[in-house]
Structure 1
Amino acid sequence: MLPQHPHDEETPRIREMSIDDLPEVFHIGEELFTAEYSQSLYRTWDEYEITTLFNSDNELCIVAEHEERILGFALGTTVKKHGSPWKYGYLVWLGVRRDLQKMHVGERLFKELKRRFKEQGVRMIIIDTSADNKPAIKFFQKHGFDNIQEHVYMTLNLSKRSKKKPVKKP
């Protein structure tokens, strides 16, 4: 059983993700970020997404573990916009095993990632989530995020057959 208080001796350890963690992190993400979760999300949970982040910004890919079991993860990267002096931190994925989501694991992961972003000179952190993902919105608002902006993403399913109108002959 995990401790209820963040100051207990057995608090999960936050550390940089290693290559050996990739399969377990992927599995946790598969359980959380299903097709139902992100039906029209412009990015999807897959091996390529994790390995790309791990290979480009591994110090911003962290896990929470307790007794050698990964409890959750945060995957981030930094972005510099052309013409802007600012460096942005982008929290791409934050996931915690479903049975542990009330135990402050996500909060500890976020705080550590925020510390690492600051260390790298980041001035603003950006996240995105579905407009109807109320728990995520509440979580990030609790941590000081504001300026909610909704984006419109549209899809065109090319695998569906289009119904062509019959052409009338004269």
Structure 2
Amino acid sequence: MIYLAVTTSLFASILLTISLKLLSIFHFIKWSPVGYTKKLNILETSHWSVKWLFLLFIIFLIILLFYFAMQFVEMVPSFLTSLIIGSIVALICEWVIFDLPAELSSFKKLSIPFMVTVVITARFVFETAVFHYRAHSERNKLPYKDSVVK
């Protein structure tokens, strides 16, 4: 199970990091994904690839935590949880990045493509987590009732 979690999280983090780079290149987001280096005063003088690899590692850890948390929430549809949690994570990220006030006019500054990208990644991770959790729990079940003697 841990191998699947790490593999899924690694693939999802690579996908999300590449998507962030593309959103930044085509100006769908008005902030730099590696702008945290200036704000937090870390890795400022490092090569651009080190900044992106550090971002990839942080995204990997966050996705891995969500993977482990969401595999136990199999009763709620993954679409619903990914939509809600992905939207909340995207909103919080942009709220922190832009340092927006808590007003309705602040929603105009949020990036819809960024939110969609985060929700799609969350959907992939949550669906995979629930699928593998169900497959693992079904693997050990008998194909007949316990009361039947064969």
TM-score, with structure 2 as normaliser: 0.28
Q: Which has the higher contact order (CA 8 A, sep 6+)?
A: 2
In terms of fraction of residues, the more helix-rich structure is 2
TM-score, with structure 1 as normaliser: 0.26
In terms of fraction of residues, the more strand-rich structure is 1
